[in-house]
């Protein structure tokens, strides 16, 4: 499926200044199959390998007709002729929601902005990022799958010897599990691969709430391999894993949309900044109603 890639430019007047990239400055878009590359300009009928920066315009949509869900992208600024260029951005993927808690288009519907009007896109995306960080930070759940497709290699600490490894952010997928018998460095290290038959994701699908991922990995009580349990230590578990929910739950997306709409209305009316705290000492989020807070409480990880 071809991918539309939203590109935001925070400061177009500076980008167009002669001291940076000058009149006619461009944003170049490249794509790759893997996060590490190699990258090449997007191509094909209707593709937008470069986008011209316009004064006063902060959001653009570039098309990749050959893009798929797992495609990785990067962008950079260039002057005309590419004799002056910026660093490349970190590689990113374009998921359905662009890695955010709710959709830009759903938010635009709720604030009565036409789908084709991109004047406020950069600001609305900024508000959606804020809401995403707020909601994930308040609940300690990873509602947006990371990475969007495939897996990343992550390290985990274990507090005490146990057959269970808790992953409260959620496990969208786990393809390889490795365990060390003592603490390992942040890179490299020595691990033993746990056979697939020796570990399970729990709770089982039949016992999970609708739409929820697994939240722990369990090593069997009858291992066929050399690892009987997780050992206490730092970086003792190495996993090829994707964290999070397979899709953002509808009620969480709704909370995010409402929070963005309130931010938008607050900007329009000049609302003052108000921050509070709950009776239990947890953060009370700005722009969240009491009813929506109850939704977040249902997902929140309570840490002891």
Does one domain contain both 47 and 123?
no
Does one domain contain both 87 and 107?
no
Does one domain contain both 74 and 220?
no
DSSP 170-192: EEEEEEEEEE-SS---SSS---E
Q: Mind listing the pLDDT tens digit for each residue in 173-197?
A: 999 999 999 999 999 999 999 999 9
Say if residue 286's pLDDT is above 80: no
Show Cβ contacts of residue 69 under 8 Å, excluding neighbours closer than 6 positions: 1, 93, 94, 95, 148, 149
Predicted pLDDT of residue 275: 44
Does one domain contain both 168 and 294?
no
Say if residue 100's pLDDT is above 60: yes
Query: Is residue 46 in a domain?
Result: yes
Cβ(109)–Cβ(254) below 8 Å: no
Does one domain contain both 48 and 175?
no
For residues 302 and 19, the model is more confident at 19
Does one domain contain both 77 and 102?
no
Predicted pLDDT of residue 31: 95
- Count helices and strands in the chain by DSSP H and E runs: 5, 15
Query: Is residue 261 in a domain?
Result: yes
Domain that holds residue 87: 3-94
Does one domain contain both 233 and 158?
yes
In terms of Cβ atoms closer than 10 Å to its own Cβ (0-12, 13-18, 19+), residue 224 is exposed
Q: Which of 219, 243, 267 is the last residue of a domain?
A: 243
Query: Is residue 274 in a domain?
Result: yes
Does one domain contain both 186 and 202?
yes
Does one domain contain both 157 and 78?
no
Query: Is residue 166 in a domain?
Result: yes
Does one domain contain both 122 and 190?
no
Predicted pLDDT of residue 20: 95
CATH number, position 87: 2.60.40
Q: Mind listing the pLDDT tens digit for each residue in 106-152?
A: 999 998 998 888 888 888 988 998 899 999 988 999 998 888 878 89
Query: Based on the structure, what is the number of domains in the chain?
Result: 3
Does one domain contain both 90 and 100?
no
Query: Is residue 8 in a domain?
Result: yes
Query: Closest Cα to residue 280, out of 121, 138, 132, 72?
Result: 138
Does one domain contain both 177 and 208?
yes
Instruction: Kindly report the average pLDDT of the chain as a whole number.
Output: 88
Query: Is residue 19 in a domain?
Result: yes
203: preceding bond cis by omega (within 30 degrees): yes
Query: Is residue 248 in a domain?
Result: no
Q: Mind listing the pLDDT tens digit for each residue in 44-71?
A: 999 999 999 999 898 898 999 999 878 9
């Amino acid at each position: 499926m071809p991918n539309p890639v939203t590109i935001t430019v925070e400061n177009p007047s500076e980008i167009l200044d002669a001291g940076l990239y000058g009149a006619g400055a461009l944003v170049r878009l490249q794509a790759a199959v893997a996060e590490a590359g190699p990258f090449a300009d997007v191509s094909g009928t209707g593709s937008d390998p470069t986008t011209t920066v316009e004064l006063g315009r902060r959001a653009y949509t570039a098309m990749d007709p050959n893009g798929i869900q797992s495609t990785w992208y990067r962008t950079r600024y260039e002057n005309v002729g590419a004799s002056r260029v910026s660093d490349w951005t970190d590689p990113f993927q374009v998921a359905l929601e662009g890695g955010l808690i709710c959709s830009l288009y759903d938010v635009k519907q709720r604030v009565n902005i036409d789908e084709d009007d991109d004047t406020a896109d950069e600001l609305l995306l900024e508000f959606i990022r804020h809401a995403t960080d707020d909601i994930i930070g308040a609940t300690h759940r990873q509602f947006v799958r990371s990475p969007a497709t495939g897996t990343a290699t992550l390290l985990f600490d274990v507090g005490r010897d146990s057959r269970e490894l808790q992953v409260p952010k959620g496990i969208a997928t786990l393809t390889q599990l490795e365990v060390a018998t003592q603490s390992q460095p942040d890179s490299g290290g020595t691990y033993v691969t746990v056979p697939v038959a020796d570990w399970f994701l729990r709770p089982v699908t039949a016992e999970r709430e609708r739409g929820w991922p697994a939240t722990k990995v369990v090593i069997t009580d009858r291992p066929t391999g050399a690892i009987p349990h997780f050992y206490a230590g730092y970086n003792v578990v190495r996993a090829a894993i994707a964290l999070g929910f397979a899709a953002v739950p509808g009620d969480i997306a709704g909370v995010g949309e409402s929070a963005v709409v309130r931010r938008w209305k607050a900007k329009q009316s000049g609302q003052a900044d108000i921050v509070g705290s709950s009776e239990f000492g947890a953060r009370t989020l700005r722009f969240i109603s009491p009813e929506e807070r109850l939704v977040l409480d249902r997902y929140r990880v309570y840490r002891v």
